[in-house]
A and B are shown apart, each in its own frame.
Chain A
Amino acid sequence: DIVMTQTPLSLSVTPGQPASISCKSSQSLLHSDGKTYLYWYLQKPGQSPQLLIYEVSSRFSGVPDRFSGSGSGTDFTLKISRVEAEDVGVYYCMQGIHPVFGGGTKVEIK
């Protein structure tokens, strides 16, 4: 089974500062169709999860451009260029080949 490991477990960020979350997969997520099925979600407090990034680096509709995804193979990163108060919550990576979520990274504001 593919294991998804996120770091750090939590992050406290000053508004306007950048933030970065790492997600490592135990196996390559590059599919034979050429796509890499790695997604990022944000679950804001008391809300359902929302899709931020799909296929490593494509922003979902309505997602601000301060969010970006990168990586390949087994190593992936979500970056927030300038954290805003509305970005607090738990961020999850997910691989879509045999769907599994990472453990989550809690982001809070300093």
Chain B
Amino acid sequence: EVQLVESGGVVVQPGGSLRLSCAASGFTFDDYAMHWVRQAPGKGLEWVSLISWDGGSTYYADSVKGRFTISRDNSKNSLYLQMNSLRAEDTALYYCAKDKNYYGSAADYWGQGTLVTVSS
């Protein structure tokens, strides 16, 4: 059974930094690309970032480009999101999601999310 468990969400001040983690199990982690998707309170889904199976290719939404960095450690079956220069509008539930393929297509399994609140 595919399991994705996010962690690291906390309350952080504007301008601060945070690293989210996602522990994956139940599938061969290094066979698949991975996504981060977020959802602000009461709002719709916003795709944030994608990383290919080997970490060689990364992609970002314009809203986070230059501030967030996606990475993975295939030896630890883990996905990360380094978030810098955080803004109030980054407040959201952050989901980790597995892709159907190695290169990036549909996110087929999702975690339960970790809440990031940016507030002074």
Interface residues of A, Cβ cutoff 8 Å to B: 1, 37, 39, 41, 43, 48-51, 54-55, 60, 90, 92, 94, 96, 99-104
Contacts and interface: CB of A to CB of B under 8 A. Distances in A.
B107 A51 contact: yes
Interface string B94-120: 010000100011111111110000000
Q: Does more than half of chain B's interface fall in helix, strand or loop, or is it mixed?
A: strand
B44 interface: yes
Contacts of A48: 95, 110-113
A90 B43 CA distance: 11
B86 interface: no
User: Chain B contact residues (Cβ within 8 angstroms of A): what range?
Assistant: 20 to 34
B47 interface: yes
Contacts of A104: 44-45
Contacts of A55: 105-106
19 contacts: A39-B106, A43-B45, A48-B95, A48-B113, A49-B45, A49-B95, A49-B110, A51-B107, A54-B100, A54-B108, A55-B105, A55-B106, A92-B44, A94-B45, A94-B106, A96-B105, A100-B47, A104-B44, A104-B45
B62 interface: yes
Given A54-B108, A94-B47, A96-B105, 11 more contacts: A37-B105, A43-B45, A48-B110, A49-B107, A54-B105, A55-B105, A60-B106, A90-B44, A94-B45, A96-B104, A99-B61
